[in-house]
Structure 1
């Protein structure tokens, strides 16, 4: 009989998230300032009784202060495959496929995150993970050089690889093993101020694309941002500017609404950090720009119908006269376009635009089930038998992610690549299929409905 007690993966993820935040705060002091901004804005926001009550009903109040997402950029398929195994130890799975090449960023990505309701409630830590697309480097000589540089490195410590294998073989890690696993895993994400190439090689890759230089020229994929969740991103951006942070001019994603949808993101500009290059003296050290501060506000998860409407409205704004998200009138154009998207929960639910989690009210629990069975879902909600709480969006938006990337790579980085989704290639490197994020919301809504009113579970 095996008496080994394993630490739950949710607890390993929480430990990793906490230690990652501590490490990044020590490396990037402005991140600490950003946490202070978010804490102050969230405290102000929660003075609104309606919002506070909704957070309590949804079970999200406890997770707001610990909620983070990080982002890393990998260079080769083997790194992505091992990263999947590493995050699996923490109860995180690859969700969604994001092709950022259409916005001039030569990567494709997924998000590792927990997928069950219980795990999300415990700690929804996510890591947006990108893989460099070597095939998008047009110069074959440069492409081969990047490949050779990446082939020389191993971004994982021998001990973390052994602990991943231990978890896979035994079915988990003990508390002591988990502590060591987290410490060893953090080494992969730590900042290294020594480049692995010469200044001449770095400059050559930088000229091809800043992101190529960031991925290929260092010992590991330093975490390039760690993002807290705010309850009011507009107020947070104003406060960032007031405190002297170089915030983006434009908040990525949908406009400000009474009912937030999907994801809104903003950031402060990437920092210039000193870097020592191979063969250069300390006096000849240069700089590298990669790490920045980001905040996000999460809203209602949209159905396939709702997402199609969102994408169409965003395209209307960005495609008009080729303006994209540039221009002083961008916010006005965005607001005007999204006037076509309903801005109240009742209309969104009845139109099938958003996902909701259902639960019987006290009135519903006391009712005769046969009487309830005669009513439609809409009637059950409208008449107070059933509560419908919006499901929070846990994922990302490719256009927004690319916008954040570009703003921190430099305004001269508006490269252009043909639309070239390569999900099958990405999944082959990953060693698994990515999960369909919308299907996960569909399943969560269906589970809640089945638990509340089984006779409507097929609705």
Structure 2
């Protein structure tokens, strides 16, 4: 007889992440090739960089690399967004950060659902970047109404999924059998459907307004549009992708290649042109095509403080004044060169990054270190004595410009489609049904907690005990 004891949200998240990966691998075979390539590059990187491997082992983050990935989903209504928040909460995933992608010509605003505690991240750091379509940014009022009516009529969650979310909320969790059924039911929300829920004429008009609008509105559900494994050397993956039959986008989004990685770098392969069917005027299915799903790879670096992020943003802006990446990749070399030259102004040394207050670090006692009573109250003294070490806190979140760059590249936008930026975090949070966690406050608290733990470790009370 099975126990009714609740299983952990971390375990449910792990099962869901594995199920999602298996489903996407079957739907998009190139994703499986990508996973193999990333595993090969990561293994080679660890073999050639023993210092990196040692640091990952010391911080108990080595095992998570191979399991780490994020997905992305786009929903069409506030009700869909709010229910997704409740779904992800069952898996221990919470909204972190607010991203207004309309500033980069993409009519959505977004958050990232992810685990937030250190222990949960080490068990399974799965994230889902979740975007809400902003129909208010589409100028054609009649088209807005048609799109809104189409979205209102659809149901993206199965009855079983809704039932299990309510059960989890009422009981404070799910038992083993219910958890397995929950994963099975929720995965249906993310599954690809090749039959559109709109006519080919409406699809064309939505597509003309923006390709992403057509992707969100035209189908039964908000299919997962990519899954992203984490690599330790994104430049190597980018170089090797063509050898594995995968055509990468022209430039890697984010900062340039560095000895000390910062924030997030991403690349991807071009979105698939997939066969879909539309209902015609007589109610029969007619063949068509749609482009949305793609493969993406990421390399994560240190989380930056507000000061570090301001420097990053300024340098990126300066770079793009010199050379903005063209959609066809024609000026890729010029952009990569400008990026590398501009970012020489950002220190590429962990000690300098820390001393200048540009990044967040986790502090920990050095094994076996002992200090005298008079040297245990000051962090900098403990570091100078070799009693405390510091390691970069991994950036677990996303970059609006990079996300928009990936979206635009993979939706095939040859020309930029412009929208008036209208940041509305309060409105987004109202639709979400919760406030999003401020990423800077979160990283600062992680750093502060590690400092306090070090000082307690070397306090007279700790030594006496």
TM superposition score category, shorter chain reference: over 0.9
Q: TM-score, normalised by structure 2?
A: 0.94
Q: Which residue of 2 aligns with 1:29?
A: 29
Matches within 5 A, 1:186-201: 186-201=187-202
Q: How does 1:300-449 map to 2 (within 5 A)?
A: 300-320=302-322, 323-326=323-326, 327=331, 328-364=333-369, 366-373=370-377, 376-449=378-451
Superposition CA RMSD, Å: 1.6
SS at match of 2:198: coil
Question: Which segments of structure 1 move beyond 3 Å, counting only runs of 4 or more?
Answer: 280-284, 454-457
1:19 and 2:19 matched: yes
Aligned-pair CA distance for 1:419: 2.4
Q: How does 1:166-181 map to 2 (within 5 A)?
A: 166-181=167-182
Deviation, 1:60, is 1.2
Q: How does 1:51-70 map to 2 (within 5 A)?
A: 51-70=52-71
List aligned pairs for 1:33-432, cutoff 5 A. 33-47=33-47, 48-279=49-280, 284-320=286-322, 323-326=323-326, 327=331, 328-364=333-369, 366-373=370-377, 376-432=378-434
Q: Give the deviation of 1:268 after TM superposition.
A: 0.1
Q: Distance in 2 between matches of 1:379 and 1:255?
A: 34
Paired with 2:25 and 2:403, the residues of 1 have a C-alpha distance of 22
Between the aligned partners of 1:332 and 1:259, the Cα distance in structure 2 is 18
Distance 1:19 1:387 in 2: 38
Looking at structure 1, the residues matched to 154 and 11 of structure 2 have their Cα atoms a distance apart, in angstroms, of 31
Secondary structure in 1 matching 2:364:
strand
Aligned residues: 450
Conservation of the 8 A alpha-carbon contact between 1:250 and 1:266 = yes
Find the aligned partners of 2:79 and 2:458 in 1 and give their Cα distance: 46
Q: What's the CA shift for 1:51?
A: 1.1
Q: Deviations over 1:418-448 (max 9, x none)?
A: 2211111110100000000111110111111
Does the 8 Å contact 1:363/1:384 carry over to 2?
A: no
Measure how far apart 1:57 and its partner are: 1.3
Contact 2:75 2:130 in 1 (8 A): yes
Q: Tell me the secondary structure at the aligned position of residue 63 of structure 1.
A: helix
Structure 2 stretches lacking a partner, 5+ long: 460-465
Please give the alpha-carbon distance, in whole angstroms, between the structure 1 residues aligned to 2:130 and 2:313: 23
Mapped to 2, the partners of 1:228 and 1:413 lie a distance apart of 29
Q: Which whole-Å CA distance do the structure 1 matches of 2:20 and 2:153 have between them? A: 26
> How far has the Cα of 1:370 moved from its partner?
3.4
Residue 279 of structure 2 contacts residue 286 of structure 2 at CA under 8 Å; is this kept in 1?
A: no
Counterpart contact for 1:209–1:413, Cα < 8 Å: no
Decide whether the 8 Å contact of 1:276 with 1:282 is kept in 2. no
The CA distance in 2 between the partners of 1:62 and 1:204, in whole Å, is: 47
The C-alpha deviation readout for 1:210-258, integer Å capped at 9, x for no partner, is 0000000000000000000000000001111222211011000000000
CA 1:283–1:182: 2 relative to 1, 3 Å:
closer
